[in-house]
Amino acid sequence: MGRGFFLGNELMAYAAKAAGASSFYAYPGTPSSEILSSFQKYAPERYAQWALNEKLALELAAAAAISGSVSACAMKQVGLNVAADPLFSVAYTGVSGALAIISADDPGPHSSQTEQDSRMYAYAAKIPVTDPANPADAFRLTKKAFEISKKYGVPVMVRPVMRVCHSRQSFDLPEETEAPRHGRFVKDPSRWAATPKHRAALHIKLTEKLKEIAEDFYSELEIKPKAPFAVVACGYPAAVCADMKDRFEGSADFIKLDMPYPIPEGLISKIENSYEKILVLEETFPLLERSFVTRNRVYGKDTGTVPSAGEFTADSCENALNLFMEKKPENKKIYAPAETAPGPKPRLCAGCGHRSAFFAIKRAAPSGIYPGDIGCYTLGTNLKAVDTCICMGASITFAESLKRENPEKPVICTIGDSTFFHTGIPALLNAKINGSPIAVAILDNATTAMTGFQPVPHAEGHITIEQTLKGLGINSVTVIDPYDIKASVAAVKAAIAAAKEENCPAVVIFRRECVTKTKMKAGKPPKVNPGCTDCGMCYEVFECPAITFNGETVEIDGASCNGCLCCVEVCPRGVIAEDK
């Protein structure tokens, strides 16, 4: 392939190819989304699948690895929550081929509900986890994960953070890669279908393997003290700290640990006994820090030397080094983040059908409760049409319970098409079984828009949302174009009434393709006639980014406007009109 300037996500995908992965499964989620699409690009002859959710992705990859094949799956850190059930079980059964689980973390967080640390899942499940510091590291440690998995028959996690996934680095891709390894399933019920008695034995074997893996991985790492102090780092903080070695060189040794779990007890003891003070740098939880037995000389998150939350930055690294080396930073607060001017808040794209759907929901039930879900449509908060956002599929579950607790209020939840297939189906079935009179708005834009336009099953022609709803026993189903705001308001009102009458969820499908993906132009931009009073309905309440107020009247940017004409109906004075 030669030399190139690659994303960390691209290099992990190529590492899977180089390691002989015959299949790769994923569910999209920033910052992991480019991994599977890159694998499809680098290895088009091998099998790749966008699964409906992360649990399915891990189970599919695990089944392939149990059959003796080399397989991988990828997800973001909150997706690992969805996949936790098979994760803990497959850790015990192990694999006969190889299985790498890439869980991309989002310290900050930048695009997630949490900044949780996937390494803690690895620790709890008792599987090895590598922690790359940069894109080149991501290639090397992903390939190493497959090697460990093949050798010891255990799944191995790779945990890149956002800065590793989305940074680029010059790298020479190896020309030679392993041929895809396919296996055959060999029946062994005592392992693959183990009862609790056999599981106990598998647990013991796993614990023994972890000790071997730790000793093997760190067999070539020698601790040769040259300074009284040590800076121990893993993952992205190791890359940040390496750039600042001139700040402590001569006073502290730099030790980079690529696998924070498991770590040999002897290595930890050697570091503890070799230095007067030890600074531990890692994101996000003090997993490595708490590996040290005698922590009276260990500094890190637990001592307040390193921030316990938020992304690790050059500033936090400098502050930590200053505190550790007992150099007080001049004119700086210890944990003060760099001051930056606030940017514009994120908004739905001009012409996005979700905007008019939210507007219609608010008009139909101004006193309603609006549980929301995960996707670009979470930005319905800007239109005051999203009241809760917890996790994938929770909009429907929350709607059921919120309606039970607030029976006098109409409850209208919103969920995207991809999220509906991800975890919305069992939630809606539960609401149906329990007779919940809620209105469910499925925002169908025919793609997984927020993470890069990955495919959705109904857009591929495999099934329709309507067929799924019929199978769930939902009788009240209306399909509407959200650009028709008047009809959309009527559809939501009808759904609220039908849900109440039937004691059952009623569904409105707002169907309009993603304008950013399709680059669709619905028509000419409307014109603004005299008489604008700057009520703000179009650019503040409706929040169309193609509309601004210049101090005297409303202006419509013809370049960004897609001609949806929703603003014509939104304008209370009729000033905005179709340009015929």
Q: What is the pLDDT of residues 50-80, one digit of tens each?
A: 999 999 999 999 999 999 999 999 999 999 9
Q: How far apart are CA 568 and CA 485, in angstroms?
A: 10
Whether 167 contacts 8, CB under 8 Å: yes
Torsion angle, CA of 259/278/207/86, rounded to 10 degrees?
Answer: -50
CATH superfamily for 353-518 is Thiamin diphosphate (ThDP)-binding fold, Pyr/PP domains (3.40.50.970)
List residues bridging with 25 in a β-sheet.
49, 73
Place of tokens 């006073």: 251
Q: Mean pLDDT check: name the lowest of 206-215, 332-341, 422-431, 486-495.
A: 332-341
Average pLDDT over residues 120-146: 98
Ramachandran region of residue 423, left (φ > 0), alpha (ψ -120 to 50) or beta? Answer: alpha
Long-range (24+ apart) CB contacts under 8 A made by 568-571 are 568/526, 569/485, 569/486, 570/359, 570/485, 570/537, 570/538, 570/541, 570/542, 571/537, 571/538
Start-end of H helices in 5-117: 8-18, 34-42, 54-66, 77-82, 84-93
Q: Mean pLDDT check: name the lowest of 202-216, 359-373, 514-528.
A: 514-528
> What is the tens place of the pLDDT at every residue in 358-383?
999 999 999 999 999 999 999 999 99
Distance from the Cα of residue 323 to its chain's centroid: 33
**Closest residue by Cα to residue 100 from 135, 67, 130, 133:** 130
Is the peptide bond preceding residue 114 cis, with omega within 30 degrees of 0?
Answer: no
All CATH 3.40.50.2300 domain ranges in the chain, comma separated: 229-324
What per-residue confidence (pLDDT) applies to 333?
47
Whether 157 contacts 128, CB under 8 Å: yes
Average pLDDT over residues 114-122: 96
Whether 85 contacts 55, CB under 8 Å: yes
Domain 2-217 has CATH 3.40.50.970: yes
Q: How far apart are CA 378 and CA 386, in angstroms?
A: 7
Judge whether residue 424 has pLDDT over 90: yes
Kindly report the pTM of this predicted structure: 0.90
Would you state the CATH architecture of domain 229-324? 3-Layer(aba) Sandwich (3.40)
Start-end of H helices in 109-221: 118-125, 135-152, 162-165, 189-192, 196-217
Q: How many helices (H) and strands (E) does the chain have?
A: 21, 20
190: amino acid identity, one letter: S
Identify the residue with better confidence: 258 or 295.
Answer: 258
Q: Is 424 helix (H, G, I), strand (E, B) or coil?
A: helix
Q: How far apart are CA 524 and CA 501, in angstroms?
A: 42
Average pLDDT over residues 387-408: 94
Identify the residue with better confidence: 495 or 516.
Answer: 495
Whether 350 contacts 542, CB under 8 Å: no
Whether 10 contacts 168, CB under 8 Å: no
Q: How far apart are CA 500 and CA 259, in angstroms?
A: 55
Q: How far apart are CA 153 and CA 209, in angstroms?
A: 9
Q: How far apart are CA 79 and CA 73, in angstroms?
A: 11
Judge whether residue 241 has pLDDT over 90: yes
Q: Is 346 helix (H, G, I), strand (E, B) or coil?
A: coil
All CATH 3.40.50.970 domain ranges in the chain, comma separated: 2-217, 353-518
**282 secondary structure, DSSP code:** -
Judge whether residue 25 has pLDDT over 80: yes
Q: Mean pLDDT check: name the lowest of 262-266, 454-458, 549-553.
A: 549-553
Long-range (24+ apart) CB contacts under 8 A made by 163-166 are 163/236, 163/311, 164/8, 164/132, 164/133, 164/134, 164/135, 164/137, 164/138, 164/235, 164/236, 165/7, 165/8, 165/9, 165/31, 165/32, 165/34, 165/35, 165/104, 165/138, 166/7, 166/8, 166/9, 166/31
What per-residue confidence (pLDDT) applies to 197?
87
Judge whether residue 329 has pLDDT over 60: no
Phi and psi for 170 in degrees, rounded to 5?
A: -65, 135
Q: How far apart are CA 164 and CA 166, in angstroms?
A: 6
Judge whether residue 462 has pLDDT over 90: no
All CATH 3.30.70 domain ranges in the chain, comma separated: 527-577
Q: How far apart are CA 580 and CA 572, in angstroms?
A: 20
> What is the tens place of the pLDDT at every residue in 485-508?
999 999 999 999 999 999 999 999
Q: How far apart are CA 63 and CA 70, in angstroms?
A: 10
Cα separation values, 184 from 98, 181, 293, 369, Å: 13, 10, 44, 52
Average pLDDT over residues 135-159: 98
Q: Where is 417: in which H helix or E strand?
A: helix 417-419
358: amino acid identity, one letter: F
What per-residue confidence (pLDDT) applies to 459?
85
Which residues of 445-565 form beta strands (DSSP E)?
Answer: 477-480, 506-511, 527-528, 547-549, 554-556
What per-residue confidence (pLDDT) applies to 248?
86
Pairing outcome for strands 527-528 and 576-577: antiparallel
**Closest residue by Cα to residue 98 from 156, 40, 42:** 156
Q: How far apart are CA 209 and CA 218, in angstroms?
A: 14
What per-residue confidence (pLDDT) applies to 335?
47
Judge whether residue 331 has pLDDT over 70: no
Average pLDDT over residues 94-99: 97
Q: How far apart are CA 532 and CA 567, in angstroms?
A: 13
Q: How many CB atoms lie within 10 A of CB 160?
A: 34
Q: How far apart are CA 523 and CA 565, in angstroms?
A: 8
Overall fold of domain 527-577? Alpha-Beta Plaits (3.30.70)
Binning pLDDT at 50, 70 and 90, where does residue 328 land? low
